A and B are shown apart, each in its own frame.
Chain A
Amino acid sequence: MGSIWEYANPVKFSRTAGVVLPWVSVFATVALIVGLVWGFFFTPDDYRQGSTVKIIYLHVPAALMAINVWFMMLVTSLVWLVRRHHVSALAAKGAAPVGIVMTLIALVTGAIWGQPMWGTWWAWDPRLTSFLILFLFYLGYMALWEAIDNPDTAADLTAVLCIVGSVFAVLSRYAVNFWNQGLHQGASLSLDKEENVADVFSTPLYVCIAGFVLLFIALVFLRTRTEIHKRRAKALLARERLG
């Protein structure tokens, strides 16, 4: 293992991705199947929420990933701006669609759970509102990538948007907290709190979270490699046309 910057070389990255990808995919599949089956069929119903409680096995990992994918994009955008490694920019580009899907899963599962529990599909609760805003950020970020033809210009502009957007996303989080009191429950998975989710529920939840993280890693590897190949194919085509 050399320095991490060796992987900025697209060839090296593609080769490593080829080696790592099958393993990560297998582990992700196993973790997701085990976690979801365990969570859906082998945990008791909650005494107040009934079986609706089981949606947390999709909702919580998706929500967790929605935020962390954006964070990963922020880091790779910074790396791109500072060190100009193309793989970094392409990883951010590849991660965005995964992030927006995670955000959508969190919003939709939340709505499905909220309908019987809170009696409404949607409430302007701070957490829900923040996720809607996050969704808009993802949408704008992806639209900007698509709108610009020159790949380097697109990478630069989206990277700056990601950084500025992060600041505003944090600001929005505090703003909506100030603006409305929430229905949403607080954090209940921390290590230092007295009142946490019971172990019967939380152990499969951790397996699910691991599965979502592995799934994300696999998808980002795959999508980044695809982007590299796409770019190489474009370069080859251009060379061929020149004769």
Chain B
Amino acid sequence: MISLLIRDLKLAFRAGGGFGLGLAFFLIVTVLVPFGVGPNSVLLSKIAPGILWLGALLACLLSLDRILALDWEDGSLDLLATSPLPLEGVVTIKSLAHWLTTGLPLTLAAPLFGLLLSLPEGGYLWLVLSLMVGTPALSVIGTFGAALTVGIKRGGLLLSLLVLPLYVPTLIFGAELARRGAEGLATTTPLLMLAGITFGVIALLPFASALVLRVNLR
């Protein structure tokens, strides 16, 4: 399991792995927003949590088809499926590797981008916390979408369409948590809901992902 994780991480970090892609996309979104809505810092600080969450989500979406497609093409997915490691474990490791290469860097970079969007003082902690809790759910749900569409050539559009409605609850609670944190309101409910979604999908969705992956591999 550990060696699979290390292999995936190496593949992502080395050339052509697309590690920087998500971060670059996140940067582009946050830099372009002020040009789009104007430099008014009152307005910017009001929409900053939502924009940052949206940017993180889209950056995540961008790299989803890399989770399984490359392994599917060169046949290593078949090898993994016949290995002693259960497919549920493989899928979980894939999600973890995706999170470590996109979700975690995005979370760590978010305060910097928050500065660009003049996020209120108290909002940084909650922004990082909400992304830290919420982005694993994005990776796990995304892996499910990637497993569904792995057999389809040029399935990128379909993958986005399938994952889009599945991301809605996470986005709502994540952005709400960041917004309430920034405005100094009570944060317990969205935090608990967000954590509930994340732990729920980590516990259950790998089984569904492994199921559809088996169907695609037969």
Kindly state whether residue A203 has any CB partner on chain B within 8 Å: no
Q: Whole-angstrom distance from the CB of B188 to the nearest CB of chain A?
A: 13
- Binary CB contact string for chain A from 147 to 177 against chain B (1 if under 8 A, 0 otherwise): 1100001001100110111001101101110
Complex Cα gap A140–B155 (Å): 12
Residues of A in contact with B, size category: 20 to 34
By the criterion CB–CB under 8 Å, are A140 and B215 in contact?
no
A164 pairs with B165, CB closer than 8 A: no
Task: List, in ascending order, chain B residues with CB within 8 A of A164's CB.
Answer: 144, 166, 205, 208
With beta carbons under 8 angstroms apart, the residue of B164, B172, B215 that contacts A157 is B215
The A interface, classified by DSSP as helix, strand, loop or mixed, is helix
Which residues of chain B are within 8 angstroms of A175 by Cβ–Cβ distance?
Answer: 168-169, 172-173, 193
When the two chains form their complex, are residues B164 and A136 in contact, meaning their CB atoms are under 8 A apart?
Answer: yes
> Do A147 and B144 form a contact, CB below 8 Å, given A172-B168, A178-B176, A179-B172?
no
| Measured CA separation A168–B165 after assembly (Å) | 8
Contacts of B169 on A, CB cut-off 8 Å? 168, 171-172, 174-175
- Contact present for A133 and B165 (CB under 8 Å): yes
Give bound CA distance, A157 to B218, whole Å. Answer: 12
Q: How far is the CA of A139 from the CA of B193 in the complex (A)?
A: 27
Q: Let me know if B148 is at the binding interface, CB within 8 A.
A: yes
Instruction: Determine if B104 is an interface residue (Cβ-Cβ < 8 Å).
Output: no
Query: With an 8 A cutoff between CB atoms, is B216 at the interface?
Result: yes
Are A161 and B148 CB-contacts (below 8 A) given A156-B215, A178-B193, A179-B176? yes
Q: Given the known A-B contacts A133-B165, A165-B166, are A147 and B173 also in contact in the complex, defined by CB atoms under 8 Å?
A: no
| Cβ-closest chain A residue relative to B161 | A140
Q: Does A137 contact B (CB under 8 A)?
A: yes
| In the complex, B17 has a CB within 8 A of chain A | no
Task: Report the Cα distance A165→B172, complex, angstroms.
Answer: 17
A140–B176 touching, CB < 8 Å: no
Give, as a whole number of angstroms, the nearest-CB distance from B81 to chain A: 15
Contact B211 A147 (CB under 8 A): no
Residues of B near any A CB (own CB < 8 A): 144, 148-149, 151-152, 155, 158, 161-162, 164-166, 168-169, 172-173, 176, 189-190, 193, 197, 205, 208, 211-212, 215-216, 218
**Cβ contacts A to B, 5 pairs, < 8 Å:** A156-B212, A160-B212, A164-B144, A168-B169, A172-B172
Minimum-distance CB pairs A-B, first 3: A175-B169, A136-B165, A156-B215
Q: A160-B148, A164-B166 are in contact. List 8 more A-B contacts (CB 8 A).
A: A133-B165, A143-B161, A157-B148, A164-B144, A168-B166, A168-B169, A176-B172, A178-B190
